[in-house]
Amino acid sequence: MKSILLIGLGRFGRHVAVKLSEMRHQVMAIDKREERVDAVTNFITNAQIGDSTDEEFLRSLGIRNFDVCIVAIGNDFQSSLETTSLLKELGARLVVSRAARDVHAKFLLRNGADEIVYPEKQLAYWTAIRYGSDHIFNYIELGQEYAIFEIQVPENWKGKTIGRLDIRQKYNINIMALKIEGRMDMSITSDTVLSGNMTMLVLGKNKDIQKCFHIL
């Protein structure tokens, strides 16, 4: 369980708050608008109305005590930038800031953010990859080069073992798990036979996966 400071309770911040609460983390939620704070009090036990650009207010929260500080401010980049910078100055261990544009991401990283989340861009990529192909069911980006794809078993792979296909050697990718009727199976070996009622969770470089499965 982590101690997390969440600043900004718009739609994105509220979704983050809900999930963190479900994961049973200790969350301190902050927003300058009373109605947004009131909206999360049913599932966040510690929420305050406050201005995150006010250094004294932030200092009163004990920033060093939080494992992660998430800046989820969406429509006020100046406030997001000031908040990010202040958090780092006050000794925040890890600052994760939301960006809405590429240029915002660059400024946030230069001014104290350790990591950036870019919801619109990340979801746009996922949507394009997921629905731009008939045989991809999920996509998780791991940095700029690597990703995990949930992908349908190609027709010419059906009935063959993973060992016979020699996937790692030929294509430089790894089958991490198989999903059969919605259930995950990670106990795969070189003798595992692939069939049409399963999907594969494949890990590798984007370019290698795209080449192997003819994803444009």
pLDDT tens digits for 155-168? 999 999 999 998 88
pLDDT classification of 116: cutoffs 50, 70, 90: very high
Rg (CA), the chain: 22
**Region 46-57 average pLDDT:** 95
Query: How do residues 193-215 score in pLDDT, each as one tens digit?
Result: 999 889 999 999 989 988 888 77
- Beta-carbon contacts of 76 under 8 Å, excluding residues fewer than 6 positions away, are none
How many angstroms separate the CA atoms of 5 and 26, rounded? 9
How many angstroms separate the CA atoms of 201 and 12, rounded? 28
Q: Show the domains of the chain with their CATH numbers.
A: 3-117 (3.40.50.720), 122-212 (3.30.70.1450)
Element (H, E) at 204: strand 198-205
